[in-house]
Amino acid sequence: MAEYSLFSLVRNAFTGNRAWRPAWRAAEPKPSYDVIIVGGGGHGLATAYYLAKEHGIRDVAVLEKGWIGGGNVGRNTTIVRSNYLLPANSRFYEWSLKLWEGLSAELNYNVMFSQRGVLNLAHSPAQLDAYARRGNAMRLEGIDCELLDRNDVAAFVPGLDVSPDARFPVLGGLLQRRGGTARHDAVAWGFARAADRRGVDIVENCEVTGFLRDSGGRIVGVETTRGTVRAAKVGIAVAGSTSEVIRRAGIDRLPIESHVLQAFVSEPLKPILDTVVTFGAGHLYVSQSDKGGLVFGGDIDGYNSWAQRGNLPVVEDVASLLLTMFPSYGRLRLLRSWGGIMDMSMDGSPIITKGPLPGLYLNAGWCYGGFKATPGSGWCFAWTIAKDEPHPLNAAFTLDRFHAGAVIDERGAGPVPWHH
């Protein structure tokens, strides 16, 4: 299925590029399906793909309110890593990272996954100790990582201010070489095309406005702006819209808040930064895209919002952190900024579960880190929907952990919606 071969490129160049087969069909919704996935972001599309591929469930519709790639999957800073402390998170994200490593071949679509390393900087002895602890926990799970000292960091990231009299001197860092970046919309398009080729209907411009229930209270379909669609099972994967969508099923409260997160890109430069660096004395992450722009971001804006754009104080905060790390970037111009709506859970860990109503399945709570989870999340959610039980990799990501007190609190900092 090599659709983008050199031969096809040349042939289409001579025929006015009119003969390309669409990457996915513009499907009309059928009256009923075995499974409906609400939300055509990375997680919804990956779920549909793995339902078809791993479980042979092909009578699937992905219902997307807007267009494929218009949500967070096309708005993120594309960092992929598995450097987590707690076993539930590190096992799940490591499985996702392993899927990333074969994803371009799996989808026959170049998702431009680049394992250029992710380096978390430490600026105090206590922080370096914490990274050593995290690194040891990762190694116990068989995950690669290296603890770097200041000289190693200086050699690994030229241009970084590692001088001892810097405002936040760099003492070292935790490096995961298998981490890196990918091309975000290629991930959406690759999963969409691969799911479509296996028979999944991808229905764009189709907002789910309500849920159908039978007399026993089981969810048996959805109301949409394009009519009623019935299904044996309905999975929700709408990221920042989770609380709004699930309210339409009669559930008023989830342990999730919606917040805006901004991202920024500079004018393009020649290659200057060939890894991902995060600043440990504040919240800042930066990498360089293949087009040359420095892509960076920081904290959520700090108030609940469903607007896909943010405010100026965060722009100033994030830009000043970037210059603290790399003073020479001060001469760059900012090209663009944008925002996405994040589904922030109260322990910084996700929810991939059967329920909370019969016939309903929920995938949410991705906080800052859902892009890297895309293949792993789709794989586990498809398993949960197909088998009506969680895979061991997502068994801890239940909704009732918040009632039971079994939270997966990666930061150990209590129930606030700004973790990941």
Q: Is 33 in the site for ligand FAD (CB under 6 A)?
A: no
Sign of the alpha-carbon dihedral angle for 233, 239, 242, 248: negative
* 305 forms part of the interface with ligand FAD (CB under 6 A): no
Residues 332-371 touching ligand FAD, rule: CB under 6 A, are 340, 342, 366, 368-371
Using CB under 6 A, which of 24, 36, 37, 43 touches ligand FAD? 43
Question: Rounded CA gap, 158 and 151, in Å?
Answer: 11
Candidate list 24, 33, 37, 39; residue touching ligand FAD; CB under 6 A: 39
56, 109, 133, 369 from 96: Cα distances, Å: 21, 17, 22, 12
Among 29, 42, 179, 221, binds ligand FAD (CB under 6 A): 42
Q: Is 419 in the site for ligand FAD (CB under 6 A)?
A: no
- Which of 245, 205, 260 has the alpha carbon at shortest distance from 364? 245
Residue from the set 35, 36, 37, 38 that interacts with ligand FAD by CB under 6 A: 38
Task: Give the containing element (helix H, strand E) for 149.
Answer: strand 146-149
Q: How far is the CB of 289 from ligand FAD (least distance, A)?
A: 12
Find out whether 184 and 192 touch, Cβ atoms under 8 Å: no
HSE value, Cβ hemisphere, 13 Å, CA-based, for 224 = 29
Binding of residue 208 to ligand FAD (CB under 6 A): yes
Q: How far apart are the first and last CA of the chain?
A: 37
Q: Which residue has the tokens 């209590």?
A: 414
Closest to ligand FAD by CB, 76 vs 150, is 76
Tokens coding 300: 């959520």
Among the listed ranges 29-37, 69-77, 141-149, 158-166, the one in contact with ligand FAD (CB under 6 A) is: 69-77
For the segment 274-303, give every residue that binds ligand FAD (CB under 6 A): 297
Residue 150 interacting with ligand FAD (CB under 6 A)? no
Shortest separation between residue 339's beta carbon and ligand FAD, angstroms: 6
Q: How many helices (H) and strands (E) does the chain have?
A: 11, 18
**Site for ligand FAD (CB under 6 A): which residue of 73, 121, 192, 195?**
73
Q: Kindly give, in sequence order, each residue whose CB lies less than 8 Å from that of residue 80, ignoring residues fewer than 6 positions away.
A: 97, 100, 113, 118, 179, 180, 181, 182, 371, 372
Tokens encoding 183 = 């091309």
Interacting residues with ligand FAD between 242 and 271 (CB under 6 A):
245, 261-263
Measured distance CA(257)–CA(121) in Å, rounded: 28
241 makes contact with ligand FAD (CB under 6 A): yes
Q: Report the residue from 36, 37, 70, 286 that binds ligand FAD according to the rule CB under 6 A.
A: 70
How many residues touch ligand FAD under the rule CB under 6 A: the total is: 40
Nearer to ligand FAD, 11 or 309 (CB): 309
Which residues are paired to 288 by β-bridges? 294
- Cβ atoms 330, 349 nearer than 8 A: no
Strand partners, 235: 37, 361
Q: Which tokens hold the place of 127? A: 């922080």
**Residue 172 is a binding residue for ligand FAD (CB under 6 A):** no
Give me 410's structure tokens. 């990666």
Tell whether residue 183 is a contact of ligand FAD (CB under 6 A). Answer: no
Q: Which is nearer to ligand FAD, 151 or 205 (CB)?
A: 205
Taking CB under 6 A as the criterion, the residue among 259, 372, 401, 419 binding ligand FAD is 372
Binding residues (CB under 6 A) for ligand FAD: these are 38-44, 63-66, 70-73, 75-79, 207-208, 237-241, 245, 261-263, 297, 340, 342, 366, 368-372
